[in-house]
């Protein structure tokens, strides 16, 4: 069940990040960005000492979305692209 929740959270986080960053991506891109964003967001949150973040659906979604937005911002900075 954890894998399915991670996939759903990844897709939602990627989709939200795509809309916030005004990107164009498909389902697979959103899933990839959301899952990697979840790892990045968790790493940043623990680096900032935010260890009180729970393991619930909404907690995961917020951390994954923030990480996905950060990932897209880093990707744009590296590639030098502007929003669509």
CA 80 to chain centre: 20
Cα(27)–Cα(29) distance, rounded to whole angstroms? Answer: 5
Structural tokens at position 51:
């260890």
Per-residue pLDDT band at 50 (split at 50, 70, 90):
confident
pLDDT at residue number 73: 93
pLDDT tens figures, 30-49 = 889 999 998 898 889 888 88
What DSSP designation does 55 have? S
Cα(67)–Cα(38) distance, rounded to whole angstroms? Answer: 6
Whether residue 1 has pLDDT greater than 60: no
Per-residue pLDDT band at 61 (split at 50, 70, 90):
very high
Domain-wise residue ranges, the chain: 2-79
Whether residue 78 has pLDDT greater than 80: yes
Task: With both helix axes pointing from N to C terminus, report the angle between 2-20 and 27-47 in degrees, rounded to the nearest 10.
Answer: 100
pLDDT at residue number 17: 93
């Amino acid at each position: 069940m954890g894998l399915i929740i991670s996939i759903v959270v990844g897709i939602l986080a990627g989709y939200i990040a795509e809309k916030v960053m005004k990107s164009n991506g498909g389902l697979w891109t959103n899933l990839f960005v959301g899952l990697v964003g979840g790892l990045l967001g968790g790493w940043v949150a623990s680096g900032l000492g935010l260890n009180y973040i729970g393991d619930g659906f909404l907690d995961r979604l917020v951390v994954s979305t923030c990480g996905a937005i950060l990932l897209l911002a880093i990707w744009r900075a590296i590639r030098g692209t502007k929003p669509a």
